[in-house]
Amino acid sequence: MKYKNAIIASLAIAGIAAGVLAVTAQGSTSRLDTVKKRGKLICGVNATLSGFGFLDSNGKYSGFDVDFCRGVAAAVFGDASKVDFVSLTAAARFTAIQSGEVDVVFRNTTFTSSRDGDVGVDFGPINFYDGQGVMVKADSAAKRIADLAGATICTNQGTTTEQNINDYFRQRKLQIKVVTYQDFNLVMAAFNQGRCDAVTTDSSGLASQKATSADPSNYRILGEVISKEPLAPFVAQNDSKWRDVVSWTVYSTIYAEELELTSRNIDAAKTSTDPVVRRFLGLEGTSGKGLGLSADFAVDIIKAVGSYKEIFDRNLGPKTKLNLPRRQNANYEQGGLLYSPPFR
Amino acid sequence: MNSQMQASVPFYRDVKKLALIAQVVFLVVVVLLIALVINNINLGLKKQNLNFSFDFLNQTAGFQVAEGTAFGVPYDSSSDNYFKVVFVGLYNTLRVAVTGMILATVLGVLVGIGRLSSNWLVGRLALVYVEILRNTPVLVQLFVWYFVVILGLPAISKAQPILGVYLSNSGLATPWLVQKPDMPNFFPVTIIAVLIGLAVFAFFSNQRARTGKPTPAGWYAIAAWLLVQIIGFFALGQPLEYGAPVRGNFGVTGGLQVSPEFTALLIGLVVYTSSFIAEITRAGIQSVNKGQTEAARALGLGYSETLQLIILPQALRVMIPPLGNQYLNLTKNSSLAVAIGYSDVLNVLGTAGNQSGQNLQTFFIAGIVYLILSFTIAFLVNLYNSATRLRTR
């Protein structure tokens, strides 16, 4: 009965074809509806960068970027725990969005025109202003980055840092050798073994690596910053409804700091008579509804993860190992670059 | 009568017609499925405003490749395009794969013979070697070779040169003849010389097989190879010069530099693959009838002569097809280079995809490259197989 097998095979293939069709048909709705239907947000983060995204030995994620993921979950569901984290390498993060594996990525990613244009992702607002730095061993002879002419520099694959460091030395007609690894853990392993004379990545990343190493005094971060690295979340291209949700989640935390609202005083603020505060809390106006969220979505975010200041202090501030200064990540009123559009 | 009976059978009871219908249905479904997949890719790309085009290959790459050249032509990250950088990666892949295949075969055959040794210690050592290497993942082995063994060597600042050769955790640096920058590329000469050497070897081995006269085919081959290299050197106006490694502020420059990534990948692949080749060799030798050994010994041949002249040539016929599989595996395993920072073709394409945002295209190119490599290896192995197999008349 040869043809019987053929018919069964045809039916099986037709089944797969139907599956493919179903996947194709899914394409036209916003990610926001998909997330709501699923009842859970899937957020791509770094698992190895302490302070930003880190998976601890108990299997719990923590960090600055991780808190923003929780904020998005709070905005959509009113419950910051409704989020699953997926750890992504630098090289895998864009494909993870393109394939729909994750809904949004908060993973210390530099916002650039080619990524916005060619890669097929859309960026949300910048949530951390950074710049690329270089770290050497404490006993290195190099005082400035240019002293590293002829040196071997390690970094991780699939990042803007690869090109930046090359451009920096090329412009000064100096030679360097760049060795790249998939994961920053491997970069640090090779650096510690003496394979490279220096490592390079975002300054915040270097500070994190230094602070969480066995002996931070082994390393020295050189003073110069060689590039602009504005770090921002990103979502799949051409889905403005979903991007709006991510964007206004970030703005909520910045706006809360401007209004001096925190996770502790936000409930008390509901009695405020200030129309600006009342609109932010969803007591007036319809901003939440227009975004496809609840009227008081900002309250849910701030209650769950706090204002930008609280998120920063909790993960990167003076009480943490990293002890990063706010500098350009301060609010515009304090001379920083953080500025939220108004909620109205 | 017969035709009448056939006519009376309805088509749904005619096995031949049903089989034909089933095949047509099957074909239609397969074509539809392929069309669906292509359509799905197109829709996905359109949804994200992406074009499936290879125009980006003309853009300047702008990122460094740690080592390697585009088959002898140096790569300059400030002006060369993505197209050229792919060839740098391909060159690195071929470098490690070809060297790896040769070394893995030599090591594997030796270990395989060792497995059958009557010496208890040699046999057991070979057994332990094979079982440990064959039963642990090659990725784990690569990490050990790279991070523990190679990077465990002394730092370059502490390394002492021996006869001008530096061995450190920055790799091996040795005095060598290096290409002069503004002279013709010497690389093709080397390739031609090696090919001529192989042809000479094949010719004289063939003659030996025909006439039975002992001819040192190996020496003739080496002489031919050297001769072509020397003629090429003078014909191109001496494009090579002597270069010795010189210690600078950071590491050494000049001479021939072998990177720790290449060394670790080569050792890892050779050792891993050799354990499989050892088992293939053992099986090949055991497949040769014991009478062959006894006859050889009766004719007064010693152990090594028996092995070389009687056993191995016959074992080789059985060994070639599985050996070909191991060569394919070795080549594909070389893509694990990305884990230890070696710039093979997949690593370079990965970086190219990330820098240009054309991930789908670069993966597509990677697939094609490996397909071509695998087909070439399979073709060469089959060619050799059909040339050496036992002819039955």
- Provide the CA B318 distance to its chain's centre, in angstroms: 21
Q: Which of residues 79-118 of A touch B (CB under 8 A)?
A: 90-91, 94-95, 98, 114-115, 117-118
CB contact under 8 A, B249 and A149: yes
Q: Are residues A160 and A217 in the same domain?
A: yes
In-domain check, residue A22: no
CA distance B247 to B79: 29
**What does each C-alpha distance from B141 to A210, A308, B110, B206 come to in angstroms?**
29, 45, 21, 40
Q: Are residues A269 and A295 in the same domain?
A: yes
Kindly list the residues from chain B whose CB atom is less than 8 angstroms away from the CB atom of residue A118: 50, 56, 356-358
CA distance A322 to A211: 6
In-domain check, residue A222: yes
CA dihedral B224, B226, B230, B231 (to 10 degrees): 10
Q: Which two tokens stand for residue A247?
A: 């964007």
Cβ atoms within 10 Å of B59's Cβ, excluding its own:
14
Helices B82-115 and B359-388 meet at what angle, rounded to 10? 40
CA distance A16 to chain B (A): 8
CB contact under 8 A, A167 and B358: no
Residue in B with minimal Cα distance to A100: B44
CB contact under 8 A, A237 and B351: no
Q: Are residues A140 and A285 in the same domain?
A: no
Query: What own/partner pairs with CB < 8 Å and gap ≥ 24 does A28-32 have?
Result: A30/A239, A30/A241, A30/A242, A30/A292, A31/A103, A31/A235, A31/A236, A31/A239, A31/A241, A31/A242, A32/A76, A32/A241, A32/A242, A32/A245, A32/A292
CA dihedral B370, B375, B377, B382 (to 10 degrees): 160
Residue A7 has its nearest CB partner, among B22, B147, B155, at B22
In-domain check, residue A15: no
| Residues paired with residue A43 on neighbouring β-strands, in sequence order | A85, A104
CA distance B354 to B51: 16
Q: B172 phi and psi, to 5 degrees?
A: -105, 130
In-domain check, residue A310: yes
Query: Is the Cβ–Cβ distance between A103 and A168 less than 8 Å?
Result: no
Where does residue A204 rank: exposed (0-12), middle (13-18), buried (19+ CB within 10 A)?
Answer: buried
Q: Are residues A63 and A198 in the same domain?
A: no
Residue in A with minimal Cα distance to B344: A180
Low-confidence ranges of chain B (pLDDT < 50): 1
A240 near B CB under 8 A: no
A34 near B CB under 8 A: no
**What does each C-alpha distance from A298 to A262, A313, B52, B235 come to in angstroms?**
11, 20, 40, 78
Q: Are residues A125 and A262 in the same domain?
A: yes
B249 near A CB under 8 A: yes
Q: B14 phi and psi, to 5 degrees?
A: -90, 110
The CATH number for A145's domain is 3.40.190.10
Strand order from edge to edge, sheet including A83-87:
A83-87, A41-45, A104-105, A234-236, A121-123
Query: Is the Cβ–Cβ distance between A199 and A208 less than 8 Å?
Result: no
CA distance B30 to B36: 10
Residue in B with minimal Cα distance to A177: B66
Residue length of chain A: 344
**What does each C-alpha distance from A276 to A301, B102, B392 come to in angstroms?**
17, 75, 95
Q: Are residues A96 and A156 in the same domain?
A: no
In-domain check, residue A195: yes
Kindly list the residues from chain B whose CB atom is less than 8 angstroms away from the CB atom of residue A113: none
B313 near A CB under 8 A: no
Query: Is the Cβ–Cβ distance between A197 and A174 less than 8 Å?
Result: no
- Provide the CA B6 distance to its chain's centre, in angstroms: 59
B19 near A CB under 8 A: yes
Q: Are residues A108 and A252 in the same domain?
A: yes
Query: Is the Cβ–Cβ distance between B311 and B302 less than 8 Å?
Result: no
A12 near B CB under 8 A: no
Domain boundary among A187, A212, A227: A227
Q: Within 13 A of B214's CA, how many CA atoms are on the CB side?
A: 1
Q: A86 phi and psi, to 5 degrees?
A: -125, 125
Q: Are residues A239 and A276 in the same domain?
A: yes
In-domain check, residue A23: no
A343: left (phi over 0), alpha (psi -120 to 50) or beta: beta
Q: Are residues A270 and A197 in the same domain?
A: no
Instruction: Tell me what pLDDT residue B6 has.
Output: 55
Instruction: Tell me what pLDDT residue A110 has.
Output: 92
CA distance A30 to A8: 37
Q: Within 13 A of B216's CA, how many CA atoms are on the CB side?
A: 5
Nearest of B350, B261, B344, B303 to residue B94 by alpha carbon: B344
Mutant choice from B23, B64, B342 vs A, greatest count of A C-beta within 10 A: B64
Alpha helices in A78-183 (DSSP H): 93-98, 113-117, 160-171
Kindly list the residues from chain B whose CB atom is less than 8 angstroms away from the CB atom of residue A7: 22, 25
CA distance B104 to B125: 18
In-domain check, residue A89: yes
Residue A193 has its nearest CB partner, among B64, B78, B169, at B169
What DSSP letter does each residue of B325-392 carry, written as one string? Answer: HHHHHHHHHGGGGGGGT---HHHHHHHHHHHHS-HHHHHHHHHHHHHHHHHHHHHHHHHHHHHHSPPP
CA distance B231 to chain A (A): 35
The beta-strand segments (E) located in chain A are: 41-45, 48-49, 53-55, 61-62, 83-87, 104-105, 121-123, 128-130, 132-137, 152-156, 177-181, 198-202, 219-221, 229-231, 234-236
Residue A13 has its nearest CB partner, among B30, B56, B78, at B30
Domain boundary among A207, A227, A247: A227
**What does each C-alpha distance from B336 to A2, A193, B17, B346 come to in angstroms?**
42, 21, 51, 9
Where does residue A96 rank: exposed (0-12), middle (13-18), buried (19+ CB within 10 A)?
Answer: middle
Low-confidence ranges of chain A (pLDDT < 50): 1, 24-26
Q: Are residues A235 and A223 in the same domain?
A: no
CA distance B358 to A203: 28
Q: Which amino acid is at A40?
A: K
What DSSP letter does each residue of B184-238 carry, written as one string? Answer: ---HHHHHHHHHHHHHHHHHHHHHHHHH-----HHHHHHHHHHHHHHHHHHHTT-
Chain A, chain B: beta-carbon pairs less than 8 Å apart: 152
What's the angle, vertex CA A95, arms to CA A90 and CA A98, rounded to 5? 140
Query: Is the Cβ–Cβ distance between B107 and B276 less than 8 Å?
Result: no
Instruction: Tell me what pLDDT residue A305 has.
Output: 96
Q: Are residues A202 and A146 in the same domain?
A: yes
Please enumerate in sequence order all residues whose Cβ is within 8 A of that of A142, keeping only pairs 6 or more positions apart, or say none: A136, A148, A151, A197, A198, A222
Cβ atoms within 10 Å of B302's Cβ, excluding its own:
10
Domain boundary among A227, A252, A278: A227
What is the interface pTM, i.e. ipTM, of the complex?
0.79
* Torsion B196-B198-B204-B209 (CA) sign: negative
How many domains are contained in chain A?
A: 2
The number of helices, as runs of H, and strands, as runs of E, in chain B is: 13, 7
Kindly list the residues from chain A whose CB atom is less than 8 angstroms away from the CB atom of residue B21: 3
In-domain check, residue A6: no
Query: Is the Cβ–Cβ distance between B245 and B254 less than 8 Å?
Result: yes
Residue B63 has its nearest CB partner, among A90, A163, A238, at A163
CA-based R_g, chain A, Å: 23
Residue A158 has its nearest CB partner, among B56, B64, B354, at B354
Nearest of B391, B345, B272 to residue B71 by alpha carbon: B345
Kindly list the residues from chain A whose CB atom is less than 8 angstroms away from the CB atom of residue B355: 162-163
Residue B358 has its nearest CB partner, among A20, A118, A177, at A118
Kindly list the residues from chain B whose CB atom is less than 8 angstroms away from the CB atom of residue A237: 47-49
B321 near A CB under 8 A: no
Residue A152 has its nearest CB partner, among B18, B251, B355, at B251
Q: Which amino acid is at A326?
A: R
Q: Are residues A258 and A305 in the same domain?
A: yes
A146 near B CB under 8 A: no
Q: Which amino acid is at B40?
A: N
Residue length of chain B: 393
Q: Which of residues 180-209 of B touch A (CB under 8 A)?
A: none
Please enumerate in sequence order all residues whose Cβ is within 8 A of that of B155, keeping only pairs 6 or more positions apart, or say none: A194, B168, B169, B170
CB contact under 8 A, B62 and A166: yes
Domain hosting A124: range is 31-129+231-334
CB contact under 8 A, A3 and B253: no
